[in-house]
Amino acid sequence: MTFTYFKRGAPVDARAANDVSSKVAQLLAEIEAEGEAAATRAARDFDGWDGDIILSDDAIAQACARVPQSLKNDIAYAHENIARFAQAQRDSFIETDLELRPGLRVGQKLIPVQAAGCYIPGGRYSHIASAMMTVTTAKVAGVAHVAAVSPPRADAPAGIPDAILYTLHHCGADRVLALGGIQGVAAMAFGLFGLPRADILVGPGNQFVAEAKRLLFGRVGIDMIAGPTDSMVVADATADALVVAWDLVGQAEHGANSPVWLVTTSAALAAEVGRLVPLCAADLPEPNRTAALAAWGALGEIVICESPEGMAAYADQIAPEHLHIQADNLDWWLGRLRAYGSLFLGATSTVAFGDKAAGTNHVLPTSGAARYTGGLSVHKFLKTVTWQTVTAEALPQLAGVTARISRFEGMEGHARTADIRLAKLAASSPI
C-alpha cells in the first residue's frame, strides 16, 4: 500500500489518559463506598448542582410542555426511523431449535438484559439524538428497565434541558436522573437513587465517562470503550471539494481531540480541501469554531493514494468510526470495505444524517475499534444463551465421545459424568 501525506496530524499523548484513569478510579471507589451521599457531593462539586437528582413525573411533564411542537415533530420522525431500524435488527436475529442427530436437540434463546443504563451527554450541546439512539434501542430489544442520566445545567428549569427530557420520555425511559460524569455512570452501575443495578451501560460521553465505563466493565456490560469521535472521507476526483470540506468540519466541531481524515487519489482535491477546511471552520459560531480549528490543526490528515484499492486498504487500516465514500462505483466500496463503525455511501449522504435521524445508530466504535466490533444495536442488549436435551437414542454415542475426549484431556471427572449416564441407560434397558 503506497500513499503520501499531504497533511499529517500529531501523535496522541497517552500521559493524560493515565491521569484520567486514576481520578476516575478514586471517585468510583468513593461513590461505591459512600453511595448516594458521595454521588450528590460530586454533582455539587463538578456540575454545581444542588437541585433534585431524581426527575419527577411532574417535572418531566412540565419540561415536555415547554418543547415546541415543531421540535417534537422532528424528534418523532427520527425516533420512528431509529425504532424501525432497531426492530429490523431484532427481527434478523432469531431463536433456534434443531435436532442435530436423532435424540440430540439444541437451541438458542435471546434474553434481554433486565436493566440498562443510558448516558446522555450534556455540556455545551444538548444531545437529544443520543437519548434516542440509546433508550429507543434498549426498549426495542425488550429491556425491562431503562434508566438515563445526563449532566444538569443551571439554565435548565429541571436541570436537564427540556428537549432531552422530552426525548427520553418519548422514547420510554423508565427513570431519569440529573447526574452527569463519573457520578452518573456510578449511580446506574451501583443502583443508587432507587435504580436497579444496571446490567449494561451504554452511550457516548467525555473521557471521564468513557474511563468510568472501562473500569466498571466486567462487573457490568458496556457497549464499547469509546474515545473521541473520528471521521474519514474517501473521495476521488469526482468529489466536490466544498462538500468534502464541510463534512470534515462537521465532525471536527465535536472537539479539539476529534481526528478527521481525507483519503483521496486526487492531488488537486487534496489541495483544495486543505485550503477550504480552515475557511469553513472559521465560519462556525463559537465554541464550534475553536473546536473545529483545533481538531483540524492538530489531528486532521490528508492522505493521497494511488488507486481506489489503496484508499480502501488505508481506510481498513485506520478503521474509522464514520466512513464516508464520495467516489464512483459505490457498490464496489460497499462490498470491499471491512473496518468501519458506520458507512455513508455517496455525496448525498452525510455522517450528520446517521448522527441524528436516518435510523442507524450513532453510538459507534472509535480509535480503531471498528477492526473488531460494530456499534450499538439491539444485539448489545440481548444475551444469546443456548440449551440442549438428550434422549436415550442419542446418549450412547454422545456419552462415549465425551468420555474419550475428556480422558484424553486428563479430565476424569468429566468422563465419569458421561459414564454414569451410560451405566444408568444400560441398567434400564431390557436384556
Catalytic residue positions, numbered: 321-322
- Residue 7: all three cell numbers together: 497533511
Residue found by looking up cell 468510568 in the block: 212
- 418 phi, psi to nearest 5 deg: -75, -45
How far is 312 from 426, CA to CA, in rounded Å? 62
Please give the single-letter amino acid code of residue 418: A
Residues with Cβ within 8 Å of 405's Cβ and at least 6 positions away in sequence, in order, are: none
CB count within 10 Å of CB 271 equals: 14
- Residue 249: all three cell numbers together: 468540519
